[in-house]
Structure 1
Amino acid sequence: MTASLQIVTAQKGARDHYLIPRSLYRNGVLAQCVTDWHSPETLRRVLRESSHPFLRRVADEYVPEVSGQHISDQKVLGLVRKAAEKIGHTFEQRHEAYAWTDALFARWVASLDLPPHNAFIGYSYASLEALEAEQARGVFTVVHQIDPGRWE
């Protein structure tokens, strides 16, 4: 008997507006969407009313149409990411912040007790440690790289 496909996705931020986890959910194969920040509906309503553009952007980081039981987030990590990546004034400072928060996110994902799954999709630079952990567990892994980075 063949096991049914169940996929975990892990992404820092709202990459592609959560297109892949949304599609997997619609097709009944999303085991879990792991992200650093997910705004629940009640918080979204409050943040959208803010006059501050940063808070309105935070409100837009949510996974539409995916039930809450399929989403794991770490809001403290999400806030740390947002703050660290905004502080840098030079390209090098922003790059260091991205690298630091990517590694924090990937280590957090690697430490999670995820629901049963047989495939894992990690997003770009924020997935190395998680991909290594999933491979060690015998899970099929895919990295989704959305841009070639600094050296196009």
Structure 2
Amino acid sequence: MKRTTLLVTSSIILLTILLAVFNYACKKDIMVNTENKEQAALNAPYWVCDGVLHFSSADSYFNLVDSLIQLDYKEFRQWEKSIGFSSFWSEQHAILERVEKVSKEDDFYCIAAENPNLVYIRDNEMELVDISSRYRLVCNVD
């Protein structure tokens, strides 16, 4: 009986030690992966954080904008999706697509009222909020 109790106690202690070691190893891997992602972001010319595009330098900004203006709309949208970003320009484009499908004038005004940071009504016509054509490619709505 003492042997059985000793064996059970030893097994529990050994299992506890193994679980503690395993838990530590997993946490260490998570920490290393997080550090690698942070380091990769620091080495990348640009990255997205909380929906905002960040640049490592002014040159990175200008290089990216110069390459983006060469893309057609479909290529540009694919680029946005690949990095998890939605630009001011894409949001405005989506509003214009909604407006084209509107059949009632009231809906037209509702769309403008819902999106005052993107569009506005002047002389009964919808106008786009005007920001630099280059900047709208890399800034978000907020």
Q: TM-score, normalised by structure 1?
A: 0.25
Task: Find the structure with the greater CA-based Rg.
Answer: 2
- Higher fraction of strand: 1
Q: Which has the higher helix share?
A: 2
Taking structure 2 as the reference length, the TM-score comes to 0.26
